[in-house]
Each structure stands twice: as structure tokens, then as C-alpha cells.
Amino acid sequence: MSPTPHTFDVQVYYEDTDFSGVVYHANYLRYFERAREHVLGAGELVRLWRDEQKGYVVYKATQAFKEGAVFGDIVEIRSTARLESEYRIVFDQRAHRKADGRLLVDAVIEMVCIDGQRRPVPIPLHERLRAVLAGSAS
């Protein structure tokens, strides 16, 4: 049984599109980033940096484009996470058009946690992240 994905909706604005009216490919990285911030909790991310000098950075990102979202669409980002190692967390993220559920972009984002000197440190397993990894955060 796979974990229940965390969902996050994104409104597509005209500024998100290219000359053809389709969402510019790099904007999906922004949408995925917003969804991960929502998954992890902005307050926790701020606290982690302020109190522990730890933060997440993208180590590797791959995206497969299936279909383009267009101006006016609501895009639902579905995110699940898993620990790949003590130092790496992997987010499987999919962008779906909310109106018809069609898959638009399939992405795998690998992240590591670093300290204030930009050295890798173990992923901090705070309460919210444990819930995400268990597939029970919404």
C-alpha cells in the first residue's frame, strides 16, 4: 500500500506561461518547491535554520513532462516522501490538472540537509516530517 500523497493546489497565472500559453517548464520546479515547503511546514523550516542552522537543499531533480498546464488551470501537486538514507530524502511529486486529473509532470526531487557551513548533516526527523514519511500528513 502506497502512502497517501500530500496535496497542494497552484493557480496558473498568465505570467507562468510562455509565448504559446503553456506553463513554462521551470515554473513546475517552483510549484514543487512550494508544495514541499507546505509539506514540511514553513514554521518548522524557519525554526530549523534559526535554532539549529540546518536547511534543505536540492541535490538532484528530474522531471518528465507529459502535458502542459495553461493559464487558468488549477494544478494539484501530489507529494510523497521517503528517506533514501540518513542524509537524503526523496520527494516523488506529480502535477495533475485538477479539473480532469490528467498527469502533467512527474518529478523526483532528492534533497539533503546542510548546516551553516554547508556540510551535509543527517535529516532532522521532526514530528511533521515523521508524519509525511508515514504518509499521514495532509
- Residues noted as catalytic: 18
- Inter-residue contact 28 to 106 (CB < 8 Å): no
DSSP codes, 72-138 = T-EEEEEEEEEEEETTEEEEEEEEEETTT--EEEEEEEEEEEEETTS-EEPPP--HHHHHHHTT---
The rounded distance, in Å, linking the Cα atoms of 71 and 20 is 10
Output the 3-class SS for 78-89. EEEEEEEECCEE
| Euclidean distance between CA atoms 70 and 95, whole angstroms | 13
